[in-house]
Each structure stands twice: as structure tokens, then as C-alpha cells.
Amino acid sequence: MAKFTMPVETKTPLVLLSGLAADARIFTPQKVAFPQLRCPVWSPPHRQESIDEYAQRLAETLDPGPCVIGGASFGGIVALHLAEHVDAQAVILIGSIKSPSQLPVYARCARPFRFLIPFLPIRFLQLLSRPMTARRLKRITPFAHGLACQFRDSDPRVFKWSLSRILDWSLAPVPSCPVYHLHGDRDWTLPVKYTDPDKVVVGAGHVLSLTHPDEVNSYLKNVLSQKSLE
């Protein structure tokens, strides 16, 4: 894993949303490089709340002023909707997608079975993941350990809602600001072949914010620098 980059000198507010079963820890390298970074906590969704309704409610808690927003995976999808409710100067997708047409085949095939999501035993699965969260494994497999800890600590309500919204996502917003897209060429969750990113990181998988922090931070820096000069 690459070393974290030093703090970047730009004051443009940056808001990044984590993905499914993840939290702000997924952006730990970015927090080091961008002191102005905010990573909102996923609050419990309202019953049958749409992505846009959730994004509007999230915007009311942020009030960041002119800013650059973005997200990883599902967080990027929500960021596209959030852009309609805040003064977004740009949206940055990190291992995410721009529209439902870019969902992989397995996700589209799973749509008819969305009604089963409320019955998923998330609490039980979190218990099964506990061995991977043992402290001794942190030294052996820090990356897997970190992801397991995030899944263990995730809210089952948020997890099920997010999964449902991914499967019933049918209409992508078209933000009035530019959309930038960074993707890994070894992303098996959201394969790059279904997307059209602006930049592809060679050797990076789905969680490139952690595995390739220098590349991600450099990309964020370039976007923020552009916006600070405008």
C-alpha cells in the first residue's frame, strides 16, 4: 500500500460519502491529505425513502456552501443526487457509476429478488464476520480486517436500504456541475467495462481510496485545484 500524501493546500470544502457497509474509515488516507474533508455518517433512512429524498435530508444537515462532493461506490450514486440539493462545484465518483445502465449484470439480474432484502440476516452475518475483526489479524491482513470492522459496525437498516436502492435505481440525475470519475481496472464489484471513467487506476480494485491513496488523492487535488481557481 502506498504511503499517505501530505496535506494539500486548498480550502475548497470537500464532502465524500462512503459506500455500502462502509464508513469514514474508508477515506482515512484522504482525511490526512485534505483537512477540510467531511465524511457524513449514514443516518437511518426513513421507510421506503428514495435516494433523492435521502439526499435532500442529508443536504439539510451539511450546509457546506460552495463545495466539491463525491463518494465511493454507492456513496457516489447518492452524491449525484446530493448535487441537486447543495451548491456543488463538481461531483467526484470513486469506484462508482453514473447511471443504472452501468450496473453490472449480476445486479440487474437480482432486481426481481429485491423483495427478499428485508429478510437478509445482516446481524447474523455480522457475527460471522467477527473472527476477521480480531486484533491479531490486523497485523496479518490489515485491509480485510478494516473492511470486516466496517461491516461489523454498519447499521443493518442502512445496509438493507442501500442495497434496495441500488437494485431499484432507475433514473440518474444530471448534475449542473461537472462529474469526474476515477475507477480501478480490477474492480470486480462494479467492473470498469460497464463504465466510462475519466481515469483508470491500474491494479486498483473496488476500494481504491485505501489501496491506492496516492492516485486517489492526486485526482482529488487536481479537481479541487481547478475549482479553487474558477
Domain boundaries, the chain: 14-108+170-229
Architecture, CATH, for domain 14-108+170-229: 3-Layer(aba) Sandwich (3.40)
Q: Is 223 exposed, middle or buried (0-12, 13-18, 19+ CB in 10 A)?
A: buried
Residue 87 pLDDT: 94
Specify the DSSP element, H or E, that contains 17: strand 14-17
- What CA–CA distance (Å, rounded) separates 64 from 139? 38
Residue 228 pLDDT: 62
Distances (CA, A) of 26 to 72, 106, 155, 178, 202: 9, 24, 16, 24, 19
Per residue of the chain (230 residues), what is the pLDDT tens digit? 444 454 555 678 999 999 987 889 999 999 999 999 999 999 999 988 999 999 999 999 997 789 999 999 999 999 999 999 999 999 999 999 999 999 999 999 999 999 999 999 988 887 888 888 887 777 777 767 777 778 788 889 999 999 999 999 998 899 999 999 999 999 999 999 999 999 999 999 999 999 999 999 999 999 998 866 55
- What CA–CA distance (Å, rounded) separates 186 from 78? 23
Residue 130 pLDDT: 82
- Encode burial over 32-60: b for 16+ CB neighbours within 10 A, e otherwise: bbbebbbbbebeebeeeeebbebbbebbe
